[in-house]
Amino acid sequence: MGDKTQVATIALGAQYHAVWAVAAGTTLGMMIANVPAVFLGEQLVAKISLRTVHKIAAGLFFVLGLWQFWELSNPA
């Protein structure tokens, strides 16, 4: 199973029957979203070690996981 972007691309392709337009649009959209992240990540790693970045990312994922567990354990 792909991520949300792949699922959205499939849905758009099925709805509009314009494979090339949907492929070009979704590719362009992902590039617009990812290119700045790559450049910012490169600048971040120049100032902070990659090991530190990995630890911060792991901590954020852990906190998000705990938050989701809490939300599922305590329904409104």
How confident is the model over 23-73, as pLDDT tens digits? Answer: 899 899 989 999 999 999 889 889 999 899 899 999 999 999 999 999 999
Looking at residue 35, its pLDDT comes to: 94
pLDDT-based confidence at 8, cuts 50/70/90? confident
Alpha-carbon distance 66 to 60, whole Å?
A: 10
25: CB partners within 8 A, 6+ apart: 12
Residue 52, pLDDT score: 93
Helix (H, G, I), strand (E, B) or coil at 48: coil
pLDDT at 1 over 70: no
